[in-house]
Amino acid sequence: MIGAVAALLAAAVLLGCSAGPVLDRPWRSAGPGAVAACWAAALAGTAVACAGVVAVALLAPPAPGHGLVEWLRDCLPHHRHGAVAAAAAASLALAAACAARLRRGLPRLGRAVRHRRRHREMLRLVAREHGRHPDVLVLDHPVPVAYSLPARERSIVVSTGAQRALTADELGAVLAHERAHLRRRHHALLLMLDLVHAVLPWSPTVRRAKARLPLLLELAADEAAVRAWGSQALAGALRRLAAAPGAAHALGAAGPGEGGLAERLLRLEAGVPDRPRRAARAAAWAFAAGAVVLPPAAAAVAILKLSAPC
């Protein structure tokens, strides 16, 4: 029991505070896809570990949640009245703080989902199907734009301006880039990032992930496009699409912002992608697996022990 609680605290501190600076360093040798998975795992592990710490704080004696199975009448008489009152006040304050953070984060997530739904409904009205690509909608607009939204069908949007501005290879690279986003569920990762950032904005790892993860997802999608169409085709497409505004809650081919686009172009001009080092890639996936598996296991053990009768 003590070991499980110690593991939870260690995971909350290490993943929530120390993982960010570590993950900032090795992406060039491990590859952006593997490091993006590490960031996502660190976010998930941080959230689970912090939730586990809160649950332990609410269930540990003499907090009112202790002995949940037997409820309060069987457990609280074994503790001093003053301790029970103090623990109840602390637990109430902790529960109120958690509720306030969730109250801020969950509506934000709901707004993003509703915005995407309205965007898709609007596209059904104003866009048309692409004749040769079954997953592409064509938007009649002179500004060159290409982006993707998660949907069951026709999830990539390309404007007529983009079709005119891009060569066949450049358009193919853009479509491969957007398909990589959809295939790897990058939209869901960004939704998770927004939710965790709204709930845990104080975490250094979460703050760093907010700045780093969107670019890593773009770099990972770039690698898929380069493997299919080459770096010159993708770089040319990004330059032509750079002036277009990004769609809210969507992954645009020219994202994420001017600084990120400049780094992507530099990487493409340098002949990337290099093949990631096998050892660095293996270490990245081992970190991701540990960050996802260990905090839930420690939380489950600690909560099961605490929920047992007195």
What pTM was estimated for this model as a whole?
0.80
**Does residue 91 register a pLDDT over 70?**
no
Range 15-24 average pLDDT: 86
Do residues 22 and 204 lie in contact, with contact meaning Cβ atoms separated by under 8 Å? no
Residue type, 52: G
The contacts of residue 26 (CB under 8 Å, 6+ apart) are: 35, 280, 283, 284
In order of 17, 227, 291, the CA distances from 302 in angstroms are 22, 46, 17
Alpha-carbon gap, residue 252 to 241, rounded angstroms: 9
Give 143-152 pLDDT, tens digit per residue: 898 988 887 7
Q: DSSP per residue over 55-118, as a string?
A: HHHHHSTTSTTTTTTTHHHHHGGGS-HHHHHHHHHHHHHHHHHHHHHHHHHHHHHHHHHHHHHH
The domain ranges of the chain are 2-306
**Does residue 130 register a pLDDT over 80?**
yes
**Does residue 283 register a pLDDT over 60?**
yes
**Does residue 21 register a pLDDT over 60?**
yes
What integer pLDDT is reported at residue 279 of this predicted model?
Answer: 79
Range 254-263 average pLDDT: 77
What integer pLDDT is reported at residue 310 of this predicted model?
Answer: 55
State the chain's maximal CA–CA distance in angstroms. Answer: 77
What integer pLDDT is reported at residue 42 of this predicted model?
Answer: 92
Give 50-82 pLDDT, tens digit per residue: 888 877 776 666 555 554 444 444 554 555 555
Asked which of 26-35, 153-162, 194-203 is least confident by mean pLDDT, the reply is: 26-35
Range 167-190 average pLDDT: 92
Give 181-223 pLDDT, tens digit per residue: 999 999 889 888 988 888 888 889 999 999 899 999 999 999 9
What integer pLDDT is reported at residue 172 of this predicted model?
Answer: 94
Percent of the chain at pLDDT > 90 equals: 25
Percent of the chain at pLDDT > 70 equals: 75
